[in-house]
Amino acid sequence: MVEVFKGTTTVGVLCDGGVVLASESRATMGNFIASSTAKKIYQIDDLVGLTTAGAVGDAQSLVRMVQVEARLYKMQRGEPLTVKAITTMLSNVLSSRRYYPFMVQLIMGGVDRYGPRIYSLDALGGQIEERKVVSTGSGSPIAYGVLESQYKPGLSIKEGTVLAARAIHNAMKRDSASGDKIELVRITDKYEEVDGPEFQEIMNLL
């Protein structure tokens, strides 16, 4: 039996004018912490990001594929794919592997000409457009407790960043497969990884 890295909490928050994606950085093999620096948020296009939960190898192969397809489309057509189009393309790939599915849960989030969008995808290609918040991975029940209780319509991008960080922070307290470092990405009119003094300021609020 081949061991795979897994165990995750990822979060997506739909905000006024943008999207926040968040994750922690622990990867596990059973009870063993295989990595404390696992990357779980990837930039797919200029204003589109993807969070990954599940088997790391499966997730990384899907990320590489969808990044290439998004770039190729933009080169050929002179405009980017919409968030929904990228999600549908990835859904088609997932659904084509019914007998040996990719063992992943994914969140696709970004901003296009229709505004901010977030979609969740399961291992068999099911896709759902989320209207406010979404979480995946082993720590998602804990994260949802924070997200559902504290989300409010019209949430600003700054408030959404704090909420996403708080959801991950609480999941890390109770889910042994989630831990180490919090990663935050904001997508508005730019794709931005939150770090430095602002990141520390957010951590102080948790």
Residues marked as catalytic: 8
Q: Cβ atoms within 10 A of the Cβ of 124, count? A: 13
Q: How far apart are CA 51 and CA 40, in angstroms?
A: 5
Q: Is-contact 185 20, C-beta < 8 A?
A: yes
- Scored b (16 or more CB within 10 A) or e, 73-111 reads beeeeeebbbbbebbbebbebbbeeeeeebebbbbbbbb
Task: Give me 93's structure tokens.
Answer: 């790939």
Residues 6+ apart with CB under 8 A from 64: none
φ, ψ of residue 63 to 5 degrees: the values are -60, -50
